Chains A and B, each alone.
Chain A
């Protein structure tokens, strides 16, 4: 059964500029979906509409089969059983950790510490923290407490609004993993809103890419990365090399030679998408190129290349093998088939 079904959802704050435009989305029970988009694409508005903090102009939202937002239907936030984790955690500053976690529980259960203990264990926090106040916690701890508080009343849907954006890089990965483990352990259905493509691809079962108030593509992370719906999405979910090409007989002819092609264009002018990690710098019969610059990251390196007589510039990501020295010459090949898209107008 679908935990969340959205149809025809539209919203605008000022005339003529829709924030959400006819959005449709379905999330299956006990799965986790990322909504990925640049800031201002309407993803936070979508979340606030699902939570019932806002009313849309048109469209319906059904949670676990019950219509909560619609032409004739309106269920206020407090009766939707939708958990909400905000970017800053938004813990109640006047309550300690135990009281924050127990906030959404029925009055009779608030005093019992066993449920709080259980929830803190779920989010992998030490129960010694129970008597602390929010200002005595680190950013990562605050987010975990916020999640424990959200999970306490056993919501049918958990919404996470960029919950890791305020954390520093190291903490972001660690907290993200812990939060996702806790959500799976609680058998929750969750929607994670983020502008960080690495977060979206690595943490959740599915990714919905949002652009200009519309859902541009939904799919499993690997599919969206390998087969993006258009070049805009391709560039948003990862680094992309885009070259003009001519397709004929299942092969694309471009600056990197004749490559095996898949995708929407079967013949004629096209553009091809190549991911930097698919470039090989020591191909036996590759295209000669000149190494302009090398940026070393430790686990991998990015090599900037000038290609052929037209000085086409592109970047390759090399892992494992030592990167070539700037100024040296390399021979470029492409690993696997490339994806074709219609030629630029």
Chain B
């Protein structure tokens, strides 16, 4: 007679699921744990001594100024671009939809190289603001455009019928509904800026992240770098908390869909040309300049030396690391996605949020934490591929998680029950129903991780084993020596590899809005 199992189905595999989800969660908590441990160890007095110097004030001012300005600029540009493309009679809207998101395929440090190799006038605050805004405004543009597509035009029609003009309608009806997407996107811009190293180092605009890197490289001054890192982490946590507060209501607001009319576009009339010029100008600055500059250096560089052998080997290393990281990240994220999607417990939600905290911290903090821990407790792991892949996992687990959760929604438990009633045992159900349904989402998540790793610079610079060179680090060492021509092929390859992920993102945005 079959052994009696547990009474309720809900209890099945609960503890096991949590145990499987723990590795991903524990890994992502390492950076935060490191910073907390450090601040507790040195104590407030020593921490104050480490931070109380004019240099810290300058870094703080630089970081806050740049982050706040870029968030504001990205918000304005992102909303403007999204509105022009989604809600007006702008010619070529379809093309612009893709072109406006495309700057995401150009890593910020490649964008800054494109500009700074043309003119040194982009160094300093103004240039830094210009370039990071051009690199990161799509993080606002994409969610706002998706939200605009999802808005019920009947609300705007009602507002117009109540006597509001187009501008008043936008301000009083549309903008409030865009708020979650707009604020969420802006906060994401903020998190990226706190983490940004390559572009700002290149433009010689010192912030906390670049200062931590310099401290570490020049003196291996652990306490000083760690003290700066703890301030940086504090900034990230502030942004993250703001983001988490926003997330709940936004998801609720998206629930419920139905057949919806598409909005009739606003006729631009006489303002068509200025709007067209503005949008085109944005694309030229964000995409045209870096790609044009890249092409120029590619042509100039290939006439002197084209290091095909080195290009192939660094690309191979990059692809291998990215594939490894994508596989490990997906595998570790799966139990978390399962726990959150199928078990619906508070614990599951807490575990999921924990993975977001880890990945919201800058790559430089993740790298410092891993270095400190391996040097102290696991010396053999120091500067190994294992350590590098671990950093990638910590940084990119949410990318896999988000896709996997969406994928799990494609495989509701009811289908599992139906398959069971048709005679399929647990493993057969997994093989014939759940996995086939989840496969596209898991694959998309793995692809996003893969492409993020290909362009990862900061933690790779710090953690890569001696002799391991990726496209990003090879590019970085060439630009460091001002070999712009020699750097170009590496950058071009990174951009080419990033394009599919960007297209995937625009596709995801469109799907969600439907």
Query: Across the interface, do B418 and A84 meet the contact criterion of CB distance under 8 Å?
Result: yes
Interface residues of B (CB under 8 A from A): 1-9, 410, 412, 414-415, 417-425, 428, 432-433, 436-437
Among B8, B9, B425, B437, the residue within 8 A (CB) of A94 is B437
Return the chain B residue nearest A158 by Cβ.
B421
CA distance A88 to B1 in the complex (A): 34
Whether B410 and A53, one on each chain, are in contact in the complex, defined by CB atoms closer than 8 angstroms, is: no
Closest beta carbon of chain A to B223's beta carbon, Å:
54
How many inter-chain residue pairs (CB < 8 Å) link A and B? 81
A78 to chain B, nearest CB (A): 5
Contacts known (A54-B9, A72-B4, A90-B414); A149 close to B437, Cβ less than 8 A: no
Q: Which residues of A contact B410 (CB under 8 A)?
A: 93
Contact between chains at B417 and A92 (CB < 8 Å): no
A86 at the interface (CB under 8 A from B): yes
Structural contact, A55 and B7, CB atoms closer than 8 A: yes
- Give the CA-CA distance A78 to B423 in the complex, in Å: 4
C-alpha spacing A80/B85, complex, angstroms: 57
Chain A residues within an 8 Å CB radius of B436: 94
Taking the closest CB of chain A, its distance from the CB of B107, in whole angstroms, is 36
Q: Is A73 interfacial (CB-CB < 8 Å)?
A: yes
* CB < 8 Å neighbour of B420 from A77, A88, A150: A77
Provide the residues of chain B in CB contact with A57, threshold 8 Å: 7
Contact A55 B437, CB 8 Å, known A76-B420, A77-B417, A92-B415 = no
Q: What 1/0 flags go to A39-80 for Cβ under 8 Å of B?
A: 000000000100111110100000000000000111111111
Shortest beta-carbon distance from A87 to chain B in Å? 9
Q: Do B421 and A51 have beta carbons less than 8 Å apart?
A: yes
Give min CB distance, B277 to chain A, whole Å.
Answer: 43
Task: Give CA–CA (A155, B8) in the complex, Å.
Answer: 25
Q: Give chain A interface residues in 131-162, CB to chain B under 8 Å.
A: 149-150, 152-153, 155, 159
Residues of B within 8 A of A82 (CB): 421
Number of interface residues of A (CB under 8 A): 34
CA distance A78 to B9 in the complex (A): 15
Chain B residues closer than 8 Å to A176, beta-carbon distance: none
Given the complex, which residues of B lie within 8 Å of A52, measured CB to CB? 420-421
Instruction: Name the contact of B422 in the complex, choosing from A53, A73, A150 (C-beta under 8 A).
Output: A150
Contact of B419 with A72 in the complex, beta carbons under 8 Å: no
From the candidates A74, A80, A93, A94, name the one contacting B421 in the complex (CB within 8 A): A80
Within 8 A of B (CB), among A224-238: none
A336 and B99 CA atoms in complex are apart in Å by 79
- Name the distance in Å between A3's Cβ and chain B's nearest Cβ: 16
SS class, residues of chain A in contact with chain B: loop
CB-based contact B432/A84 at 8 Å: no
Report how far A57 CA is from B4 CA in the complex, Å: 12
Residue of B nearest to A88 (CB): B414
A257-298: which have CB < 8 Å to B? none
Beta-carbon nearest neighbor of B424 in chain A: A78
Q: List the B side residues contacting A53 at CB < 8 Å.
A: 9, 417, 420-421
In the complex the two chains form, is B2's CB within 8 Å of A103's CB? no
Residues of A within 8 A of B9 (CB): 53-55
Q: Is the CB of A74 within 8 A of B5?
A: yes
Contacts of B433 in A (CB 8 A): 92
* B423 touches which of A55, A79, A159 (Cβ 8 Å): A79
Q: How far is the CB of A279 from chain B (nearest CB, A)?
A: 42
Collect the chain A residues with CB atoms within 8 Å of residue B421's CB.
51-53, 77-78, 80, 82-84, 150, 155, 159
Supply 6 A–B pairs (Cβ within 8 Å), ascending by A.
Answer: A51-B420, A52-B420, A53-B420, A54-B9, A75-B2, A78-B424
Q: Measured between alpha carbons, how far is A79 from B423 in the docked complex, in Å?
A: 6
A104 an interface residue at 8 Å Cβ cutoff? yes
Output the least CB separation between B413 and chain A (Å).
9
Report the nearest A residue to B8, measured CB to CB: A55
A153 engages B8 (CB within 8 Å): no
On whether the beta carbons of A73 and B418 are closer than 8 Å, the reply is no
With contacts A55-B5, A74-B5 taken as known, whether A149 is within 8 angstroms of B417 at the C-beta atoms is no
State how many angstroms separate the Cβ of A29 from the closest Cβ of chain B. 20
4 smallest CB-CB distances across A and B, nearest first, come from: A104-B422, A77-B420, A84-B421, A94-B436
Task: Return B259 CB to nearest CB of chain A, in Å.
Answer: 15
| Identity of the chain B residue whose Cβ is nearest the Cβ of A85 in the assembled complex | B418
Do A104 and B420 touch (CB < 8 A)?
A: no
| Closest residue of B by beta carbon distance from A48 | B417
**How far is B418's CA from A82's CA once the two chains are assembled, in angstroms?**
10
Query: In the complex, which residues of chain B have a beta carbon less than 8 angstroms from the beta carbon of A80?
Result: 421
B residues near A93, Cβ cutoff 8 Å: 410, 437
* Closest B residue, CB atoms, query A104: B422
* Chain B hits for A88, CB < 8 A: 414
A108 to B: closest C-beta gap in Å: 14
A78: chain B residues within 8 A (beta carbon): 420-425, 428
Q: Which residues of B contact A51 (CB under 8 A)?
A: 417, 420-421
Contacting residues, chain B, for A104 (C-beta < 8 A): 422-424
Expressed in whole angstroms, the Cα–Cα distance for A52 and B7 within the complex equals 11
Query: Which chain B positions have C-beta within 8 A of A103?
Result: 419, 422, 424, 432
Contact with A74, one of B4, B420, B424 (Cβ below 8 angstroms) = B4
Asked if B8 and A54 sit within 8 Å, CB to CB, the answer is yes
Chain A residue with minimal CB distance to B5? A74
Bound Cα distance A80, B423 (Å): 8
Determine the chain A residues whose CB is within 8 A of the CB of B424 once the complex forms.
78, 103-104
Question: Across the two chains, which residue of chain A brings its CB closest to B421?
Answer: A84
> Are A74 and B3 in contact, CB atoms less than 8 angstroms apart?
yes
Q: What's the nearest-Cβ distance from chain B to residue A110, in Å?
A: 11
Residues of B within 8 A of A74 (CB): 2-5
Interchain CB contact under 8 A, A90 and B1: no
Once bound together, how far apart are the Cα atoms of A83 and B2, in whole Å? Answer: 21
Closest to A106 in B: B423
Annotate A105-129 by CB proximity to B: 1 below 8 A, 0 otherwise.
0000000000000000000000000
Q: Smallest CB–CB gap between B167 and chain A, Å?
A: 41
Smallest CB gap from A70: residue in B: B4
The answer for the CA separation of A182 and B423 in the assembled complex, in Å, is 21
Partner of B417, one of A55, A79, A84, A155: A84
CB distance from B6 to the nearest CB of A (A): 8
Query: Which residue of the partner chain A has the closest CB to B418?
Result: A90
A207 to chain B, nearest CB (A): 24
Given contacts A51-B417, A74-B3, A74-B5, 16 further A-B contacts (CB under 8 A): A53-B421, A54-B9, A55-B6, A74-B4, A82-B421, A84-B418, A88-B414, A90-B412, A90-B415, A90-B418, A92-B419, A93-B437, A103-B422, A103-B432, A104-B424, A155-B421
